[in-house]
Amino acid sequence: MSALSAYLRDLIAEDGPLTLERFMALALGHPTMGYYTTRDPLGLAGDFTTAPEISQMFGELIGLWAAEVWVAMGAPAHLHLVELGPGRGTLMQDALRAVSVVPAFAQAIHVHLVETSPVLAKAQKETLARLDLPVSWHGGVESIPPGPAIIIANEFFDALPVRHYVNDAGAWRERLVGLDAQGRFAFGLSREVEHSIRINAPDGAVVEIGAVGQRIMSALAARLARQGGAALCIDYGYAQTALGETLQALQGHQFVDPLAQPGDADLTTHVDFAALSRAARAAGAQVHGPITQGAFLTWLGIFDRARALSRRADAQQAAGIEAALARLVSDRAGIMVEGGVVDGMGELFKAICVTAPGMATPAGFESVQP
Ligand code: SAH
């Protein structure tokens, strides 16, 4: 049994069952034993692979996107370029390399990385060590200094804890994690009824609420509305709020039981973009999208970028660029890549852009009404 499992078991034995949100928060973010706190989960050797790790094109295009947004903001002399959950720092590294073609933008930037994992913060420091730019680390979004900001969040919101409410003969009760007769983690329901949910649904239906993500979005949107700027959030998820749960656990690129190995498996959910958008609008910001990752990257010129890279590549590298391109933009299942067969991210992954009200439509979002 892992140290974290033993700790959670003691906690439940003493205080009673935990809400799913608390269980997830501890499993992912316990300061010394959490999943993200204790490892680098990315890449072939880890549990999942993200777009910046698939291809340099992803970060490069987002860097150039940010430069364009900065121009649309009136090219402020000082800009906070913020990334939430930057992983290994790969996206930021690729973005900053690309924007060296816009020196005035590069000169305006102060980079802020919001990261709770000491392991990944160390990886980010190594990745960005040779940069000639100010970089600061933060444990949360509250400590980013005021001023115009461009905020990037790739696969950040899916990593935050959620609450589940389960319909129990017409009453909504919060899902808890307790212990079964054998001492294993097991789902149960709160005795208290949650009266604020007024959805009619059959017995056993589940409502999933990303309250932590909504709170973070609300804080970001409020600052963007007051101080200017934009936030680009890219993640897997859905455009309309719907009944049902999406909690999943990943270990070594395979799905596992979410309760089986807290602290050793990645717990994640699909992002409810409609709920995030409501939180942003309620805080005074404007929301563009969602659009699919495939459409967004296509608008940003990923096909041209792939061709340009391929011209300088040998045959094997060119095949790698082709596979990465397909993986990032297409919705095709069964794409052959190094290490196996994967599904395209183009449709499942979506982007929204939250801006100060009245700002020009950000690049890539022209086809959707705010
Ligand atoms: N954006 C990166 C990594 C995605 S994994 C990429 O695309 O490759 C999720 C990232 O969010 C990790 O860096 C993780 O440590 C970080 N993270 C998870 N929960 C967090 C929280 N509550 N606050 C800040 N960062 C968090």
Contact 58, 300 (CB under 8 A): no
Centre of ligand 1 from the C-alpha of residue 156, in Å: 5
For ligand 1, whether the C-beta of 220 sits within 6 Å is no
CB 237 within 8 A of CB 248: no
Question: How far is residue 325's CA from residue 305's CA, in Å, rounded to a whole number?
Answer: 10
Nearest CA-CA partner of 154 in 352, 359, 331: 352
Per-residue pLDDT tens digits for 298-348: 999 999 999 999 999 999 999 999 999 999 999 999 998 887 899 999 999
Helix axes 56-72, 315-329, angle to 10 degrees: 60
Give residue 45's pLDDT.
Answer: 87
- Is any ligand 1 atom within 6 A of the Cβ of residue 120? yes
| pLDDT tens for the chain, residues 1 to 370 | 789 999 999 999 999 999 999 999 999 999 999 999 999 999 888 999 999 999 999 999 999 999 999 999 999 999 999 999 999 999 999 999 999 999 999 999 999 999 999 999 999 999 999 888 999 999 999 999 999 999 999 999 999 999 999 999 999 999 999 999 999 999 999 999 999 999 999 999 999 999 999 999 999 999 999 999 999 999 999 999 999 999 999 999 999 999 999 999 999 999 999 999 999 999 999 999 999 999 999 999 999 999 999 999 999 999 999 999 999 999 999 998 887 899 999 999 999 999 999 999 999 998 876 5
* Residue 272 in contact with ligand 1 by CB distance below 6 A: no
Which residues, at least 6 apart from 1, have a Cβ–Cβ distance to it below 8 Å? Answer: 9
308: helix, strand or coil: helix
**Which of 115, 217, 266 maximizes ligand 1 atoms within 8 Å of its Cβ, making it the mutation to test the pocket?**
115
Cβ(329) to ligand 1 under 6 A?
A: no
Q: Ligand 1 atom 6: the closest Cα is on which residue?
A: 87
213 lines ligand 1 (CB under 6 A): no
Distance 130 CA to ligand 1 centre (A): 22
CA 120 / ligand 1 centre spacing (Å) = 8
Our answer on whether the CB atom of 268 is closer than 6 Å to any ligand 1 atom is no
Tokens 């501890």 correspond to what residue? 26
CA dihedral sign, ordered 258, 28, 155, 275? positive
Ligand 1 atom with the shortest distance to the CA of 83:
1
